[in-house]
Amino acid sequence: MGKRKKHKKTPHPIIQDPAAVRRLAEEHLRLGRLDDAIHLLTRHVEGKSGPDPALRQMLAQAHYQRALRSTSPTRTDLERAATYDAEQPRYRLALALANLASGRAEDVGVWLESSPDEKLTHLSRALQLLAARRTREFKGLQQRLPAEVANDAALVRLQILRHLLVGNAQLAEPLLTALDPLDRGLYEGIIRWMSGDEAGALASLSEIPALERNPTPEEAQLLATQFFFLGVRRARAGQLAGARTAWREAQRLALEHELALPWVKRLAAHWQALAAAALAQRDLETALVCFEQALAIEPENKVIASNLRAVRLAQANRLSQQGQLDRAVELWRACAASGLQNEAVLKNLAVACEKLNRMEEAAELWRQLARLWRRQAQDTPADPSLKGQLARLERHAADLMLKIGRPPYEIIDELEAALKIDPSQHEVRRVLADVLLEIGQTQKAVRHLEMIQKQQGTTPQLLAQIGAAYEMAGRSGDARRCYERALELDPKFVPAQRMLLQWMGSRAVDAEHRGDHRQAIEICHRQLEIDPTYTPALSHLAMLHFHRGHKKEAEQMLQRILDIDPNNPNNRGIVGSMYLAMREKKKAKEQFDKAIELDPSELCFFNVGSSYLAHADLKKALAHFDRAIAVGSVDTILDVISALLDYGYIPEAQNYLNMALEREPERPDVYLMKANLLVEQMRLKEAKEVLAQAEALAANPKYADVRAEIRSLRQFIRDTEEMGRVIGLGDLRDLPPLPPDVLRLFKGK
């Protein structure tokens, strides 16, 4: 292949119109593009187009601004500024000061004495003498000057400095009256400082002049310098908080106004010294602020960065112990952002976020920690304790991700990533199986559990888990055999016993639905052989006897429930509900009253009300719901609304919803319930508007659960609307409310 031709850059056209040049240069200066402005103006000022006074002044201004922005101003820019605009005295004065700062006092007069400004000429000579410490000649010059020049504020300031240089601080103090109030506090503080009056110096420097506007750059220099010296005095007096405040303000002014003051570079060292003093007093918060300010001045300083991370970590741990978790999380996050992402920081962050109910953040942090531990497990495969910790972490992270409604594939990907590193992590495989069961992928879950059984052997715990998976997969016989085998290995293994009893209960219900009451009764008796106090079997037997007309046998079963624990309000409630089903309202009321006497809590009132609601006694249900709400909270009201909606009592549910909105109008779950109520009435457009309100209120991390429910309901609305379009029902606004049973079926309840 031939070489590709190089394209020459097309030069920018040279602008000839001076007005256009000025407009472009003004734009460069306004936007801070000083190099572009200098390049443009230099080409026209020194080019063939000839000198233009306006362009020369703009070029001088650009060089001057570039010198001021530099942290170490070069004399070249200042010399060019003074050359291009000889009539501007500030350029000459700035150049003279730059010569003084660089130790070239002999060059001060070269620029200032040639100035057309007579006052500036005298000032140049005074500066030159003072810089050379020729104080006697300075005094003689001052005495020969005209009064209007000698009393000028700039020369008065030099006289004060002259007295301080020779150690005559007391002679400098009378000169303060000639200074502007903005200057006076700074110079008075320095004079008292030099004369040994520490308290007076601190008092004078503390008198900061008030401005009703933003300071000019010159005023900002004076104020920043005064704040700097005030911080120095406060630090020496042991006033650490005061020093911190003063230096922070000095630093702010210096950065905002881009002041190239000599003390700015030294301020980082002062901040570090103040941090050390704060640490000696165990004042971690002050030390933290000091290191942050020092790092802002020297962002590349690794020592300061390391010290800041250490103090942040210590302060975060202390605040966590004191219960100030929000601030602790902020500091731990800052540590992680600065490169300190060890397992302690991640774990502390995750735990704190969970305590603050910021579940989404916590889940992501647990995932990061899991990835870190996986790498460690890969490097040290023989560490059993790490494997156990990792398995527990994977389970917790998976449970949390399920709780906040993360997509199942994310959870599965995380767990499969762990198994790729070490396929022998059977605890992680169990977690994966649980997640697969949770989302309905039963066949995959069964395969993982069978793989564990094949490699690890049979245990009661594993058999119980496999049995549950078989049952969800529709393999009822295999499930029963697993439960029975688990009990053979350990007859006292309660989870397997409960699962077997529940499996038998399902078979008894199936037999009843087929009309085979005899077999249903037989299964219930087998349940009671395993556990004579199993309440679901006793209550089922009672109903079976009642339906067969054996009222005496039914009441015997109910009495057996009461005999288990006569003072158990739950058992009293169960028996009361059974009597309601048998239409024995008086006996039901006796049991409910006894339950309330034993436990007059909101839960007990709610359960009694729910029993009446299930048996269509709305009046008594509402009466008990009101008693539950009287001793409960808005959560109780929401539970009542859900119960009423389940049975289609929409007007009554609306009344309780209004009560909840009146009590706590800022709770997102109340608006979520309102959206559910609108969905029940097929008012989908209004429901979506209310969901938007709920989502806005649920922005706080503590409402992660509510956000997951909002997403679920929004998806249900989309599915419902799509169903309406598919079957040609438009937007469903004119449809009557769907029956509660149909809605529950469609929502998967």
Convert the pLDDT of each residue in 611-625 to its tens digit. Answer: 999 998 999 999 999
How far apart CA 499 and CA 493 sit, in angstroms, is 10
What token pair was written down for 478?
């295999």
Is residue 340 predicted with pLDDT exceeding 80?
no
Element (H, E) at 574: helix 569-581
Convert the pLDDT of each residue in 663-703 to its tens digit. Answer: 888 889 899 999 988 888 888 889 899 989 888 888 876 77
Convert the pLDDT of each residue in 506-539 to its tens digit. Answer: 999 999 999 899 999 999 999 999 999 999 999 9
Would you state the CATH architecture of domain 362-453? Alpha Horseshoe (1.25)
Task: Please check whether residue 508 is in contact with residue 496, taking contact to mean a CB–CB distance below 8 angstroms.
Answer: no
Query: Residue 406: which pLDDT band, with cuts at 50, 70 and 90?
Result: confident
The structure tokens 């601190």 sit at 202
What token pair was written down for 55?
């362009």
- CA geometry: angle at 15 spanning 13 and 18, to 5°? 175
The structure tokens 């030390």 sit at 287
How far apart CA 676 and CA 718 sit, in angstroms, is 14
Convert the pLDDT of each residue in 356-396 to its tens digit. Answer: 888 888 888 888 888 888 777 777 765 667 777 877 888 88
Which pTM was predicted?
A: 0.53
Is residue 92 predicted with pLDDT exceeding 90?
no
One-letter amino acid at 658 equals N
Convert the pLDDT of each residue in 628-674 to its tens digit. Answer: 999 988 999 999 999 998 888 989 999 999 999 998 888 898 999 99
CATH 1.25.40.10 in the chain, residue ranges: 362-453, 458-564
Strand (E) positions, 145-270? none
Residues 6 or more apart in contact with residue 2 via CB below 8 angstroms: none
- Higher pLDDT: 714 or 133? It is 714
Convert the pLDDT of each residue in 477-497 to its tens digit. Answer: 888 998 889 888 888 889 889
Average pLDDT over residues 739-748: 50
Convert the pLDDT of each residue in 35-85 to its tens digit. Answer: 888 888 887 777 644 567 788 888 888 887 787 776 555 567 777 877 887
The structure tokens 């009893």 sit at 501
What token pair was written down for 32?
């801070």
* Orientation angle between helical segments 262-280 and 284-297, nearest 10 degrees: 160
Buried b (16+ CB within 10 A) or exposed e, 362-379: bbbbbbbbbebbbeebee
- Per-residue model confidence (pLDDT) at position 605: 93
CATH numeric code, 458-564: 1.25.40.10
Average pLDDT over residues 155-180: 61
Is residue 571 predicted with pLDDT exceeding 80?
yes
Convert the pLDDT of each residue in 252-296 to its tens digit. Answer: 888 787 777 777 778 888 888 888 888 888 888 888 888 888 888
- Per-residue model confidence (pLDDT) at position 427: 75
Percentage with pLDDT > 90 across the chain: 16
Tally of CB atoms within 10 A around 611: 25
